[in-house]
Structure 1
């Protein structure tokens, strides 16, 4: 098996194990067993469990980030851009429930090093919302008295909570589109200029 395939296999296995057992309870041997590799193989690719967790996070968010940026580049309507972001995020979280679990729960509970890393990486991902809101303000679509950074946290917080409900309590009777419409309707009513 090629090195990149083993690396990817370990990341997939670790995501599943962390989501199921929790980061602190999970052992390297659990990840190795899930990946169907020897325990020592893990250390050829990663220094420790924290290193694996960072890689899970970086690769998972990196894929969502890349796809979202590509879709946004082809659009210049700030409302539609927010819709794209929301749908892409919700789709990714629903599609990979293990990754969603790791992002939502594990990265809130780990040590300061991970939290600092998460903030740095997440700021790039959530920063897209800030940029869209600023763009909408420049175009006169969104209210000028709205703080883009605070609005970003409000919108992402709503998305995070919806994803948590889907993945933790298994309330899956809403489609991605239905949830996106609800979140956006509530959010946009607060930030749109009155005549739009």
Structure 2
């Protein structure tokens, strides 16, 4: 197996293990077992468990940034961009429920460690929301008295909670309906 493939395999395994056991309770051997590699193989790719967690954020959130960024580029209307962002986020979290759980739990429990991390992809992901808000303000669609950095936390917080609710329960609502509800509620407060 190529080293890039093995690296991805370990990341996927770690995401699943961290989601099920939690970062602090998970052991390197749990990740190795899930990835079907020897414990020592993990250390060929990662320095320690925290390095694996950061790599989960870098790789998985990096993929989200790339995918969502490409689709948002095609849209110019800030309201439609925000609705699209909400829907794409929920779709991705439904597809990767382990990532949804890791983001939901580990960003809170290990937040001090993650905040100290300099190349924070997660912050880059949140900045997508800020840029949509800023665009809406520049075009006169969104209120100018809203602070984009506060709005992004509010919007992401709602998405994070809904993502967990949606992935844990076979929801009676479609992603489209949930996206529409969230977007309508958020945009009612944002509209100029």
Unaligned runs of at least 5 residues, structure 2: none
Structure 2 counterpart of 1:22? 22
TM-aligned CA distance change 1:27 to 1:9, over 3 Å: same
In the alignment, structure 1 residue 178 sits paired with structure 2 residue 181: no
Greater CA drift, 156-165 or 144-153: 144-153
Q: Deviations over 1:79-135 (max 9, x none)?
A: 111111111111111110001111110231126222333894322111111111111
TM-aligned CA distance change 1:133 to 1:111, over 3 Å: closer
Superposition TM-score, scaled by structure 2 size: 0.93
Q: Distance in 1 between matches of 2:7 and 2:159?
A: 30
Is the Cα contact below 8 Å between 1:108 and 1:115 reproduced in 2? no
Query: Which aligned pairs between 1:21-170 and structure 2 lie closer than 5 A?
Result: 21-110=21-110, 112-117=112-117, 120-168=120-168, 170=169
The RMSD of aligned alpha carbons is 1.7
Q: Distance in 2 between matches of 1:111 and 1:146?
A: 25
Structure 1 counterpart of 2:188? 189
Unaligned runs of at least 5 residues, structure 1: none
Give every structure 1 segment of 4 or more consecutive aligned residues whose post-TM-superposition deviation is greater than 3 Å: none
| Secondary structure at the counterpart of residue 101 of structure 1 | helix
Q: How many residues align?
A: 192
Q: Deviations over 1:8-41 (max 9, x none)?
A: 1111111111111111111111111111111111
Greater CA drift, 144-153 or 116-125: 116-125
Q: Distance in 2 between matches of 1:93 and 1:131?
A: 21
